[in-house]
Amino acid sequence: MKNYKMILAYDGGRYNGWQKQGNTENTIQEKLEKLLAILSGTAVEVMGSGRTDAGTHAKGQVANFHMDWDGTEEELMAEINSHLPEDIAVLFLEEVANRFHSRLSAKGKIYEYTIWNSPVPPVFDRKYTFWVSEELDVEQMKLAANAFIGTHDFKSFCANKRMKKSTVRTIYSIDIHREGAKVVLSFYGDGFLYQMVRILVGTIIEVAEGKKEVSQLEDILQAQKREVAGFTAPAKGLCLKEVYYAE
List average pLDDT for each run of 10 residues in the chain, which is 247 residues long: 97 95 89 96 96 96 97 97 97 97 97 98 98 96 98 96 90 97 98 97 96 96 96 98 92
pLDDT of residue 163: 81
Model pTM score: 0.95
pLDDT of 161 reads 81
Alpha carbon distances (Å) from 171 to 19, 21, 125, 202, 220: 24, 29, 28, 17, 16
Catalytic residue list: 53
* Secondary element (H or E) of residue 35: helix 28-40
The C-alpha angle with vertex 203 and arms to 244 and 128, in degrees rounded to 5, equals 60
Q: Which domains does the chain have, with CATH numbers?
A: 2-96 (3.30.70.580), 107-245 (3.30.70.660)
